[in-house]
A and B are shown apart, each in its own frame.
Chain A
Amino acid sequence: MTADRHRDIKLDSWSVVSLLSLVVLPLVTTNPIVNSLAYQVAIGISAAMAIYIMLRLGLLSFMVPAFMAVGGYAGAILAKAGATNLLLLMLVAFIVPALAAIPLGALVLRLKGIYFIFVTFLFNEMLQLILFETPSLTGGSNGISAVPPASFLGWSLDTPKALVLVTGLVCLIASVTTLMVTQYFRAEFTSIEENETLTESLGVAVWKYRTIGFVASSGVAGLAGFALVNMLSTAHPSSFASWSVNSYIAYAFVGGRGTMLGMVVGSLLLIAMTNEFAAYAQLSVGLYGILLLVVMMALPGGIVGTCIDYFENFKARSAGNLKPATNER
C-alpha cells in the first residue's frame, strides 16, 4: 500500500470510529441540548457524506436534498403502511433513491463543472414541485405527518433517547457505506477527479465509476432523509428545501472536502455554531456568514485539509533535515 493510500484509509477509518460516539451519547446522557445537537450533527454528517462521495469524483452535486426527500418519503410511506422495521426502512430509504439515481445519472453525469451544479440544483426544484403536485402519495403541501417511529424486534423506538440512537445509527451506516465505496474505488475516483483524460487513456470507463458514485451518494442521502423523517415523525417538503444543500456543502468545504474526517469536523463545528449563534436571534445569519468567510479565506483546504498539509510539510521538513529522501516507506 502506498503512503498516500495508507494515510487516507487511516484518517477515514478513524472518522467513522469517532461516529460511534453519536450512538453512545444518547445512552449516557439525558441532556436535551446534547441530544438535540447529536441528532442534528448525525443528519448533517450523513448528508455531507453524500456530498463527499461526489466530491471524490470532482463533482459538486446539489441534488442531495432531492435524494434525501426520496429516501425520507419512501420510508414514511412504508412506515405509514405498517412496515416499521428499522432495517427494512433503512434498506428502502437507501435503495429507492439509489435506483432513481441510475436513469437520472445517465442524464446528468454527462455534464461537468458549473453545468452539473446548475442541473442538479434544478432537480431539487423539480422534486419540490412533484411533492406538491402528488398529494395522494406524498400529502402535497401538508406532507406526511404522524409517521410511526421505526421499530426493532418488536420494540417501538419512540422515546427521545431511542430516536437519537436511531439517527446516530443511520449516520454510522451512511458513513461506513461511504468509507467502503470511496476506499474500494479510491484509485478510480481520485484519478477521475484529478485527470480524467489520463484515467480514460489508461482504460478506465469513467461513466461507470461516476454512476457508481452517484448511486452510492443518492443512497446515502436517502438514509439521511430517512433519519430526518424518523426524528421529526413528519415528511414535509420544507425539510428538503433546495437551499438546505448550501449547509451540507458548507460542512464539506469548511471541514475539508478531501477526507471523511472533514465532513465530521465541518458538520460538528457549523451545527454547533449555528446553535450558538441562535442566541443572537437577528445577528445569527450574519455571524454564520462571517464564520464561513473567515474559515474559507484562511483555510482554503478546509480545517482538516489544512492540518494535513501542515503535518505533511512538517514531516517532509523533519525528514529532509534528518536523512536524505528514501525510496521506500
Chain B
Amino acid sequence: MSFIHRSLSKAVADLGAPRLRVEGASKRFGGLMVFDGLSFDIPPGGVLGVIGPNGAGKTTLINVICGMLSLTAGSIHMGDRDITSKPFHVVSRLGLARSFQQTNTYSRVSVEENLYRAQRFGAQRIGAANKGPDLGIAGLLEAFGLSGHLQERSDKLPYGLQKMLGLVMVLATRPRILLLDEPAAGLERRERTQVDRFVEHAQTILGCSVLIVEHDMDLVRRLCPRIMVLDAGRLIAEGAPDEVLARQDVIDAYLGPSEEPNHAEP
C-alpha cells in the first residue's frame, strides 16, 4: 500500500517536474576558463552526480545554473523556460533550489524560525502558492535528530545538524530541481545516510530532479544512476558510476597520473 502510494505520488509529481538542460555552458573569470562547452541534461525525477577533483569547476557549475553567477556562453533551460543568467531569486522561485557546501542557516535565530522563514519564502514561489502535498518536514526533522532542537539557535547546533537543517530548509521551498553542493561534506560516516534519506524523500514527495556534487564515492554510487566527471572544466567521462569510476583517466584526474613502473636505472 505504502509502495503504491509512493509510486503514485512520485508519478503525479513527475508530471510537472521540468527537465534541466544545460547546453554549451562556458564560464570564464577574466583569463581563467572555469569550464567550456559543457552540455548535459537531467530528466524529470532523475539524479545526476557530478564528481571531480578540487578546482574542477563543480561549485561554479552550480553557481551558474542557480543564477548566482552569469554564464559566459551557452544556455540553461528548465523545461521550455530559458533561465540563462536569470537572477538568483527568480530561478529559485521557478523551483530550482540549491544547497551550500558550508553550513548556511540564519545563525542568530532558532531552528523553528529558520524553518518558518524557508516555508514563508517558498510560499512566494511562482505558481506554488503553498499548494501541494504535505512535505513531511516533521518526519525528516525527527529522522535527522533536529526535532529536539527546535528552540535552539541554529549556530549552537553541531555541524551535522546545521548541514541537515540547511537541506530541510531547501526542501521547505518546494523545489522541483535540487542542486546539492557536497551535502555530505563534513558529516560523520554514520550521518551520511541521512543525505540518502533526504534525496529519496525529495524525490518521493516532490518528484525532484537532483544534481549532486560530491566527493563521497559510496554516496554517489548509492544515489546516482548516472555521473559525470569534471577535470579542470572539461567533461572527461559520463555514464554509470561503476563504469566511470573504473576508468583510468578518472582515477588519474582524482589521484594524479600513476607513475610509470619501468623507469630504467641508467
Q: Of residues 188 to 240 in A, which have CB atoms within 8 Å of B's CB atoms?
A: 188, 190-191, 194-195, 197-206
**Once the chains are docked, how many angstroms separate the CA of A326 from the CA of B147?**
10
Task: Flag A160-202 by CB within 8 Å of B: 1 or 0 each.
Answer: 0000000000000000000000000001101100110111111
Q: Is the CB of A191 within 8 A of B122?
A: no
Chain B residue nearest to A202 in the complex (CB): B121
Q: Is the CB of A202 within 8 A of B110?
A: no
Task: Flag B60-81 by CB within 8 Å of A: 1 or 0 each.
Answer: 0000001010000000000000
Q: Is the CB of A2 within 8 A of B113?
A: yes
Q: Is the CB of A203 within 8 A of B109?
A: no
Q: Is the CB of B120 within 8 A of A200?
A: no
Q: Is the CB of B151 within 8 A of A191?
A: no
Contact for A4 among B88, B107, B109, B121, CB less than 8 A:
B109
Taking the closest CB of chain B, its distance from the CB of A142, in whole angstroms, is: 48
Q: Is the CB of A199 within 8 A of B151?
A: no
Taking the closest CB of chain A, its distance from the CB of B132, in whole angstroms, is: 15
Q: A205: which B residues are within 8 A, CB to CB? A: 87, 89-90
Q: A200: which B residues are within 8 A, CB to CB? A: 88-89, 92
Chain A residue nearest to B112 in the complex (CB): A2
Among the interface residues A187, A188, A197, A325, which one has the most CB atoms of the partner chain B within 10 A? A187
Among the interface residues B87, B93, B106, which one has the most CB atoms of the partner chain A within 10 A? B106
**Once the chains are docked, how many angstroms separate the CA of A141 from the CA of B150?**
59
Chain A residue nearest to B152 in the complex (CB): A325
Q: Is the CB of B147 within 8 A of A195?
A: no
Q: Of residues 86 to 123 in B, which have CB atoms within 8 Å of A's CB atoms?
A: 87-90, 92-93, 97-98, 100, 104-110, 112-113, 116-118, 120-122
Given contacts A2-B113, A201-B66, A327-B147, A194 and B92 within 8 Å (CB-CB): no
**Can you give 11 contacting A-B residue pairs, CB < 8 Å?**
A4-B110, A5-B113, A187-B121, A195-B105, A201-B89, A202-B117, A202-B118, A202-B121, A203-B93, A325-B148, A328-B150
Closest 8 CB pairs of A and B: A203-B92, A202-B121, A203-B93, A2-B113, A2-B112, A200-B88, A4-B113, A200-B89
